[in-house]
A and B are shown apart, each in its own frame.
Chain A
Amino acid sequence: MSERIYDLVVVGAGPAGMAAATTACQHGLDVALLDEQAAPGGQIYRSVGKPAPADTRVLGPDYYYGRKLVDALQHTQIDYFSSTTVWDISSERVLSVSIGGHSRTLRAAKILLATGAQERPVPFPGWTLPGVMSCGAAQILLKSSALTPPGPLVLAGSGPLLLLIAWQLHKAGVSISAVLDTTPSANYFKALRHGLGALRGWRMLLKGLGYLVSLRKAGINMLSGVTKLRADADSSGRLAQVHFQQQGHSRVINCKSLLVHQGVVPNVQLTRAMDARHLWHEQQQCWHPQTDAWGETSIDGVFVAGDSAGIGGALAAEHFGRLTAWQVACQQGRLGSTERDMLVRPVRQTLDRLMVIRPFLDVLYQPAVEFLLPVDETIVCRCEEVSAGDIRRFVGLGCSGPNQTKAFSRAGMGPCQGRMCGLTVAQIIAAERNVAIDQVGYYTIRAPIKPLSLGELASLVSHGDK
């Protein structure tokens, strides 16, 4: 029996993945869509098929827009695998996947990785304390469980999501003690250079300003220019206070919950494990896979779309997902190149319009140095409890990159496989060595990219070898 080979396997059912899978299916491709979550939507449209809050005003129309993509998906012949983790992709495009504790393999002619973004790790003293959580996590809890964090509540950080979640929690009736904006004031001047783009993307800019104005109007304590963020615990080891400086004064706020955010970065674990070429994005301060205009990576037949290719937001992800699907359909002989180009032209225009504001946003919301190069006492590797000071000491011992500090310190060896420390460790090394981060590089990532039981792995031994 010859094994089925899908024309296209899409990994990730967020906006890029859903749009790509639906589009590819419409052009007659045999498509599988694999996703780690129990329901489609990705993180941005998490649980949008069955949102938890009764009051739809809490999450707002931009969220419920995602229903359209989920609905479209349901009217196709796609093989949709939910609660499925892809833990390896071979160079022959064989995917090893884990479903409900059992592993199997799938074959694909083409693969689209639409694995989205993760929040940028926000290392600062005390960020590991129970009670400190990412803004994205709080939003997921709101969307799927209608849960809100216990008060007193403080939010701290920089970026559109910080204001959005503050606004959503406020609308949900949650009392917010303060929103601490850590955006460095110098960023506003730097961003002005990209002001023209911002003006052309005025719709999005107005939306952001809208949250800010509404939060102020609502009487929420909005503090800007916050530096030296630190979280302190009570005697039980849980978050009790947040310390910071503002306008030259040291301040303390008592709190039970602290939500932090410093933007999002591409989830590159799979492309890294495949040894695809990656580039450093200076404005976004993160790595992304190198691609051609259609999202094809340095590995033949492997595409990326959406935030996993570089941060562009949900709408851009959706459009780029479609564009990638047309290219795959074209490569698979289901769509002529003239027809493809006709379909693509208006989408490229939309993408240009959506992306025009990015340089402005990227520069404006570049994290403050204290979150990129945290002080020595800060834990950078949460799994193995390695501090920024440890990393600096090992650079002094001759470590020139993250794989060497990994061997010396264990930073990056824990179950998260470096997702929470990789960027920070590389940036600390680059700063200590006074070289560009491209010269420092990233962890060498190897499959399985998520922990896997030995029994499950062992079950893949072909019978002849047993």
Chain B
Amino acid sequence: MSVRLRADCRETDVTVIGGGLVGLAIALGLIRNGLKVTVLDEGDIALRASRGNFGLVWVQGKGDTCPEYAQLSRLSARLWGSFAQELESCTGIDVQLSQQGGLLICLDDAELEQRQRMLCAMREQAGGDYPFKVLDYAQLKALVPAVGPRVAGATLGLEDGHLNPLLLLRALAEAFIARGGKLLSNASIGEIRQQDGGFSVVAGDDCWNSAKVVLAAGLGNKALAPQLGLSAPVQPNRGQILVTERIQPFLHYPTGHVRQTGDGTMQLGDSKEDVGFNSGTTTEVMAQIAHRATRMFPLLENVRMVRAWGALRVMTPDGYPIYEESRVCPGAFLVTCHSGVTLGAAHSGPIADWIAGKPESFSLEVFRAARFDV
């Protein structure tokens, strides 16, 4: 049934629902395509996976069972340098991007061997172009003297890196607004109506008419998607992160569990818990994170953590993203992933171009949600 668009609605070319790393990166890319973009964001107390992001621009091991995802992650990593420059020239914000390689430290030999096997298989899949090194303990120690004696070694992904996710979030927001985008917070999304050639998004007392709608609302996508003939079977997965006081720089490579930020603080994390929508912290998990981190870097023993938080990852059943245009409601797009930083440059580049209507530079067919309908 087609519904008349409300006359009192404001006009925009694209309405993006969700003002996190995913929504803002896409919105910025849409502006680059010459479109008028409005981002509707939640308020202060939102689940916000963006705020819990660990800040890795990470390639190694990603997409071991989905070559297209591996390719997309690597493409994004390659685009990051110029994207970071673009953000800095527009906002003056240096997002502290460093891509000198990243380490996945393994505590025992079995773990290291398993990881090596996985990366070798991925290299084969990529036709030999998949740069990584396997470091035994002595090689790792030579590269990172602070590493402790009770680790087996590490894999070094040469395309890996990290950045400051909160600076990135701010830079995206500032760049988006500077280029004429409209960012509205405290928007609680009600109905999304569709009619020929357009959408009407009701948010509180306001309403926006647009030719296209992008759902980038993280866990919120699950409830919104069916209105547009889409499906977003996402579930929360909690990660807890610990941050220490600032210390003098000593760790020059990010690792999968521990990294030193551009501000000097240490970030420790990578816990995974299935606890519904509880974004709190627990002593037990924090202790495990601290235990592993101090085993990897014993000099952290006396370093004080100053805060911790929990955040909910947005996980699909297979862990891979969904990029999909609705077949029922053309012009409605669904974007969901749990790697808002790594994929940020791709979201702002090729993914935004695809939403803007440019021919796809690569197929996104594999990322449709229909893969879960078995």
Q: Bound state CA distance, A229 and B179, in angstroms?
A: 40
Shortest CB-to-CB span from A38 to chain B, Å, is 21
B306→A398 contact, CB < 8 A = no
Q: Bound state CA distance, A465 and B287, in angstroms?
A: 10
A458→B294 contact, CB < 8 A = yes
A407→B305 contact, CB < 8 A = no
Known: A397-B177, A414-B306. A275 touches B280 (CB 8 A): yes
Shortest CB-to-CB span from A417 to chain B, Å, is 6
Known: A400-B43, A446-B308, A457-B287. A407 touches B169 (CB 8 A): yes
Q: Bound state CA distance, A441 and B302, in angstroms?
A: 34
Interface residues on A, range: 35 or more
Shortest CB-to-CB span from A219 to chain B, Å, is 47
Q: Bound state CA distance, A54 and B242, in angstroms?
A: 47
Interface string of B169-199 (1 = CB under 8 A from A): 1100110010000011110000000000000
Given the complex, which residues of B lie within 8 Å of A88, measured CB to CB? 283
A451→B177 contact, CB < 8 A = no
A451→B304 contact, CB < 8 A = yes
Q: Determine if B108 is an interface residue (Cβ-Cβ < 8 Å).
A: no
A447→B45 contact, CB < 8 A = no
Q: Bound state CA distance, A28 and B293, in angstroms?
A: 45
Interface string of A205-236 (1 = CB under 8 A from B): 00000000000000000000000000000000
Q: Bound state CA distance, A402 and B51, in angstroms?
A: 13
Q: Bound state CA distance, A414 and B242, in angstroms?
A: 13
B304→A452 contact, CB < 8 A = yes
Shortest CB-to-CB span from A320 to chain B, Å, is 29
Shortest CB-to-CB span from B217 to chain A, Å, is 16
Shortest CB-to-CB span from A302 to chain B, Å, is 15
A461→B43 contact, CB < 8 A = no
A399→B185 contact, CB < 8 A = yes
Q: Determine if A415 is an interface residue (Cβ-Cβ < 8 Å).
A: yes
Considering only residues 326-349 of chain A, those with a C-beta below 8 Å from chain B are none
Q: Determine if A455 is an interface residue (Cβ-Cβ < 8 Å).
A: yes
B: number of interface residues (CB 8 Å): 44
Q: Bound state CA distance, A457 and B19, in angstroms?
A: 35
B303→A447 contact, CB < 8 A = no
Q: Determine if B274 is an interface residue (Cβ-Cβ < 8 Å).
A: no
Q: Determine if A460 is an interface residue (Cβ-Cβ < 8 Å).
A: yes
B304→A407 contact, CB < 8 A = no
Q: Per a CB cutoff under 8 Å, which of A96, A399, A407 touches B283?
A: A96
Known: A96-B283, A400-B44, A454-B290. A408 touches B303 (CB 8 A): no
Considering only residues 38-62 of chain B, those with a C-beta below 8 Å from chain A are 41, 43-45, 51
A465→B288 contact, CB < 8 A = yes
Given the complex, which residues of A lie within 8 Å of B281, measured CB to CB? 446-447
Q: Bound state CA distance, A399 and B302, in angstroms?
A: 36
Interface string of A376-411 (1 = CB under 8 A from B): 000000000000000000100111111110011010
Q: Determine if B166 is an interface residue (Cβ-Cβ < 8 Å).
A: yes
Given the complex, which residues of B lie within 8 Å of A466, measured CB to CB? 291
Shortest CB-to-CB span from A414 to chain B, Å, is 7
Known: A454-B293, A454-B304. A401 touches B44 (CB 8 A): yes
B288→A408 contact, CB < 8 A = no
Q: Per a CB cutoff under 8 Å, which of A96, A413, A453 touches B307?
A: A413
Residues of A within 8 A of B (CB): 88, 90, 94, 96, 105, 275, 394, 397-404, 407-408, 410, 413-415, 417, 440-441, 444, 446-448, 451-455, 457-462, 465-466
For the complex with contacts A105-B283, A457-B290, 12 further pairs of A-B residues with Cβ separation under 8 Å are A88-B283, A90-B283, A398-B177, A400-B43, A401-B45, A408-B169, A448-B308, A453-B302, A454-B242, A455-B302, A457-B242, A458-B290
